[in-house]
Structure 1
Amino acid sequence: MNVRSLGALALSCAAAWGLASHAAEAQTSVTLYGLIGLDVASTKRSNGPPAAIAEQSPGLTAPYWGIRANEELGAGYRAIAVLESFFQPTNGGVGRTSADPFWGRNSYVGIAGPFGRVTLGRHTNLLYLAEQAVNPFQASILFSPLVMQTFTAPYGGAIAGDTVWNNGIQYTSPNLHGLTTTAVYAPGGFAGADGTYNAALSTLYAGGSLTAVATVQRTRVVAGVASPTQNAYLVGAAYDFSLFKLYGAVQGLRTDSTDIGAHTYEAGLSVPLTSQLSALAEWAYTRRSAPKNAVTARNTGSAGLDYFLSKRTDLYLVTVYDRLSGYGTAMTYATGIRHLF
């Protein structure tokens, strides 16, 4: 069965599941949702090839679609399940790249209730979620300097693993006056090597004008292969002053055996110019050692305008400055559109 057939089958199953669920039990729901977006960009990084103009996604957000199921079990408990797939609107391909599995964004099942939530499966990485809370460009791997310098290899991203982790057992606590804690344990499945696993812990406070997050993670499995231990952390916050919102974060990592280390400092700003138009700006500086006597520094800055035509559709214009020590300055320019459904 080819990828198109799989997609059609998944959509058909979602529709049939939803109809059957509502017919059999009013307290069961299935929702189809997603985001499609792309942009046209002239892209150039400091240590990269000459600028190239192309239509691209992910843009501000990687396009995806998903199916969410909820079933009320009584006494405040629910069975929950999520299946989400990335896709490429530029060519119709599945995944962010061909390396992604079909359900590449999230795929998990679990129970939610007064105790919080426990899910098993593939989950978005907690460090990546923490970064989204403390930068104005949120999840963008192309326009958020913090995310670019963490997860994008061409921009020096040295974090071990992807923005999504496999084989996760994840617990999220109840919301206590704006405070939640999430922990994940992802066993590697290597016989006789129980210590080869990934783990992360993240605490988030979101109340009133303040958002603050602290996250730590230990990575020993990358793409199903045992890897050198890497420890990473992020501490950051955002504060909404009504007239503008400020963001800031400090992040670090150290990889055993290779002695690769990196420290990143980030600051951001968003300003609502009108009810529909916002100005965004962010800067990140990363000092990386690999090994300690070979130090490089990278400065990346982004500025943009985001105009909402409606609650679900926006247009954006972004420019990115990039400078790696020992190389010249490079500029990227992009304009694009996103639509939530």
Structure 2
Amino acid sequence: MKKKTNNMMRLGAGFIVAGAALNAFAQQTTQVQMYGLVGAYVAKSERSGGPAAVTQLGHGGLTTSYWGVRGSEDMGSGYKAIFALESFFQTDTGGLGRNAVDGLFARNAFVGVDSRFGRLTFGRQTNPTYINMGTLSPFGVSVVFSPLVLQSFVGTYNGALIGDTVWNNTIQYATPRVGGLAGNIIYGLGEVPGSSGRANLGLHANYVNGNFSAAFSAQRFRVPVTAPLAQQNAYLLGATYDFKAVKVYGSLAKTDSSGVSSNTRTHDVGVRVPITQSGALLAEWAHTKRERAGLPDNKRNTASIGYDHFLSKRTDVYAVYSRDKQTGFESADTIGFGVRHTF
């Protein structure tokens, strides 16, 4: 009986050890993480040529609010299966997406493989032109306060780029970073019957070396087609340098469209000046000239100045003043205050 009891104890201990080992193995090979950002701002907003000023509580601000789940599984030999599902939301109303058109996972929804040879992903993915643009603006990817982003992606500011900040039906390959240089190519299938060439294409690169960084994007946008536009080619080139006392930003962008004579040229400069260990002054100016056949050229100047202060590692507050002026209209002002928290 004693021998039988000892055997049962050893067997039980073996199951415990095996279970612990399997659990540890699972933790090492599979990882799932929930994360996101919650932001809100209060602003009195008006744009040149737009409706009268409105005071509003807005969602996002310096960064559009979102939450997401991402994961990876170690498949051995340096390969990992990866995925990400990210959803925009509206802090002011609790609504889904940035607007009524957005789906559940409108920010990103992709699956793929990561390795030492690079990363290959499939699904709805953020446009790398927008990501590069965020690195070239002291206001980041803000669709509310960044002059470069406003004049490029926001329709009410005569957005120069056709298409969204996120592309559907994409295949993307991103290279590993070598000597500070990394690049990617993204292809968005048009899924138009009988027209396999109806697709979006982007080629992108960024370089980081100490205090210097640079970014380049070239994209061809064809889907969806808005008549009479057939295709738009867009290019972005810019660089930053951190002198410690001040970080400077500069970029140039252009678009050429076929099917309609409407081309744009954008110049943008900005600075970030640390004021304290936790806060910095931000300033940026963008100018876009739009050439249109049969119509006078349209010129738009947008400038923002603000202060961003971190209360902790994950929470910051900010204040921004913007002035906007376009051809044929009076200038307009926006002033806003906001808070954001990452998790």
Q: Tell me, yes or no, whether TM beats 0.5.
A: yes
How far, CA to CA, are the matches of 1:138 and 1:201 in structure 2? 21
Overall identity of the aligned pairs, in %: 43
Q: Alpha-carbon deviation of 1:49?
A: 1.3
Cα 1:22–1:124 shift into 2, 3 Å: farther
SS at match of 2:160: coil
Q: Alpha-carbon deviation of 1:55?
A: 0.3
Q: Alpha-carbon deviation of 1:21?
A: 8.6
Q: Is 2:229–2:258's contact at 8 Å kept on the other side of the alignment?
A: no
Cα 1:107–1:198 shift into 2, 3 Å: same
How far, CA to CA, are the matches of 2:287 and 2:240 in structure 1? 18
Q: Is 1:22–1:28's contact at 8 Å kept on the other side of the alignment?
A: no
Q: Is 2:205–2:217's contact at 8 Å kept on the other side of the alignment?
A: yes
Partner of 1:321 in structure 2? 323
How far, CA to CA, are the matches of 2:138 and 2:214 in structure 1? 14
Residue 273 (structure 1) aligned to one of 268, 272, 275? 275
Q: Is 1:21–1:28's contact at 8 Å kept on the other side of the alignment?
A: no
Structure with larger Rg: 2
SS at match of 2:28: coil
How many corresponding residue pairs?
322
Q: Does 1:87 align with 2:89?
A: yes
SS at match of 1:165: strand
Q: Alpha-carbon deviation of 1:25?
A: 4.9
Structure 2: give runs of 5+ residues left out of the alignment: 1-21
How far, CA to CA, are the matches of 1:154 and 1:58 in structure 2? 18
SS at match of 1:202: strand
Q: Alpha-carbon deviation of 1:294?
A: 2.5
SS at match of 1:294: strand
Structure 1: give runs of 5+ residues left out of the alignment: 1-19
- 2:103 partner amino acid: P
Residue 176 (structure 1) aligned to one of 175, 178, 193? 178
Partner of 1:302 in structure 2? 304
Following superposition of structure 1 onto structure 2, how do residues 156-305 of structure 1 map, counting pairs within 5 Å? 156-222=158-224, 228-291=230-293, 293-305=295-307
Q: Is 1:135–1:146's contact at 8 Å kept on the other side of the alignment?
A: yes
Q: Deviations over 1:79-100 (max 9, x none)?
A: 1000000000100000000111
Cα 1:280–1:22 shift into 2, 3 Å: farther
Residue 154 (structure 1) aligned to one of 153, 156, 159? 156
Q: Is 2:97–2:104's contact at 8 Å kept on the other side of the alignment?
A: yes
How far, CA to CA, are the matches of 1:95 and 1:225 in structure 2? 27
How far, CA to CA, are the matches of 1:173 and 1:188 in structure 2? 24
SS at match of 2:222: strand
SS at match of 2:104: coil
How far, CA to CA, are the matches of 1:164 and 1:207 in structure 2? 28
- When the two structures are superposed, what TM-score results if normalisation uses the length of structure 1? 0.91
Q: Alignment RMSD, CA only? A: 1.7
Partner of 2:41 in structure 1? 39
How far, CA to CA, are the matches of 1:74 and 1:80 in structure 2? 13
